[in-house]
Amino acid sequence: MKLALSLCACATAASAAYQFNALAYNPKQLATGACPTVDTVRDDLAVLAKYTNEVRIYSVRDCNQGEPVLRAMEGTGWKVQLGLWINKNDTVYESDRDELLRLAGVFDFKKHVTAVIVGNEAVYRKEQTQDQVAAKVRDTRAALDRAGLGSIPVTTSETWPSYGPALIDAVDYVNMHAFPFWEGVSIDGAQAKAFEHIYDLQRAAGGKTVVVGETGWPDAGGDYDAAVPSLANEQRYMREFICRANLEKIRYTWFSAFDEAWKPVTNASSVESHWGILRGDKSPKFAAPMYDCKGFVPSSKPGGAAENDRAAVSDRASDSDEASSDSSHSRHSTDEDASSGGAGLLAAMAIVAAAVSLLL
């Protein structure tokens, strides 16, 4: 164990101010999906301020949402991770990057921007190769350097199997998504599964910090193999993941802030609008505190069984569909995970397991 008991107390104290390090946030208006205004963002942040002081958005140019988000944060202690969208069409990336640079001339990035996240699961969706995303990460960093903003970390965000050496090399820190739900894991095994992937990437990352860019559990929608959405399971995963992350000093962005009722519901993604800690009417799903780490004991670290798990899941991954998305709006991973039945993710696991063991 890395941590002495005395450190555990510190971790608890340090995280006591807010229940969440950061929350994934789609600024579009909850009922309709209409573009946000400064006032609608202010209203959202007023609700979220009970839980965190940092949000992650997925594009600055879609709906021109970067501007109202940064405007709403002016004069406050709010922080934001700014996303640039990447898909097959590089013009989309370039216009997001150019909007980022415009915003950098208007707003105080050093005060409010904790990271720039270049792409969201573009490798996982097979819209870009790791080398292509790595080049865009470097391109954005160079542009920020020229603007005098070289101190702001630049990374991407990918499901854990999509991080190979080229991508790890390009990022300032590894920003990884982990959804035991989309691996069809029962709630009993979810905590161990998420941390197994974190440890794998930590070993592969050559000393770079690994941060969890998205994780969560839905409270409603269809089961996914042994993964069952429910309020109790959402809260249990929240407690187990976050309490352990705090103990191990692993930063995370919880997915997500709000249920987004406007999102289309299909059979494959009936859980899609149910990942929030708050409902679509902004009421909390759980009484405060949303979780409590008193008495929490982490599950034991994974041992030799991990390789068998991987083999088992990659066997199931044969009928992977293309997980296409022309979305330049910030559709989150699970949309794509859902449209491919999660199979793309599972298929990639075997490849990365191999890549990781090469690195070891």
Ligand X SMILES: *[C@@H]1O[C@H](CO)[C@@H](O)[C@H](O)[C@H]1NC(C)=O
Q: Which of residues 78-107 bind ligand X (CB under 6 A)?
A: 89, 91-92
Report in angstroms how near the CB of residue 292 gets to ligand X at its nearest.
38
Between 222 and 284, whose beta carbon lies closer to ligand X? 222
- Length in residues, the chain: 360
Between 91 and 318, whose beta carbon lies closer to ligand X? 91
x/- string (CB under 6 A) for ligand X, residues 219-238? --------------------
Between 43 and 98, whose beta carbon lies closer to ligand X? 98
Integer distance in angstroms from the first to the last C-alpha of the chain? Answer: 20
Closest to 58 measured CA to CA, from 342, 331, 345: 331
Q: Which of residues 174-193 bind ligand X (CB under 6 A)?
A: none
Task: Give the integer Cα–Cα distance in Å for 301 and 26.
Answer: 34
Report in angstroms how near the CB of residue 22 gets to ligand X at its nearest.
28
Between 92 and 238, whose beta carbon lies closer to ligand X? 92
What angle (nearest 5°) sits at the alpha carbon of residue 32, between those of residues 31 and 35? 115
Burial of 82 from C-beta contacts in 10 A (0-12 / 13-18 / 19+):
buried
Report in angstroms how near the CB of residue 342 gets to ligand X at its nearest.
17
Report in angstroms how near the CB of residue 89 gets to ligand X at its nearest.
4
Please name the amino acid found at residue 61: R
Contact status: 264 vs ligand X (CB under 6 A)? no
Contact status: 318 vs ligand X (CB under 6 A)? no
Which of 266, 301, 311, 322 is close enough to bind ligand X by CB under 6 A? 266
Report in angstroms how near the CB of residue 68 gets to ligand X at its nearest.
20
Closest to 115 measured CA to CA, from 254, 269, 253: 253
Between 76 and 89, whose beta carbon lies closer to ligand X? 89
Contact status: 76 vs ligand X (CB under 6 A)? no
Task: Give the integer Cα–Cα distance in Å for 310 and 55.
Answer: 32
Between 285 and 329, whose beta carbon lies closer to ligand X? 329
Which of 6, 32, 267, 300 is close enough to bind ligand X by CB under 6 A? 267
Q: What DSSP string describes 265-314?
A: --STTTTTT---SB-TTS-BSSPSSS---TT--PPPPP-THHHHHHHHHH
Report in angstroms how near the CB of residue 267 gets to ligand X at its nearest.
4
Q: From residue 123, how far is each of 103, 250, 262, 330 by CA, in Å?
A: 27, 24, 26, 15
**Residues in touch with ligand X (CB under 6 A):** 89, 91-92, 266-267
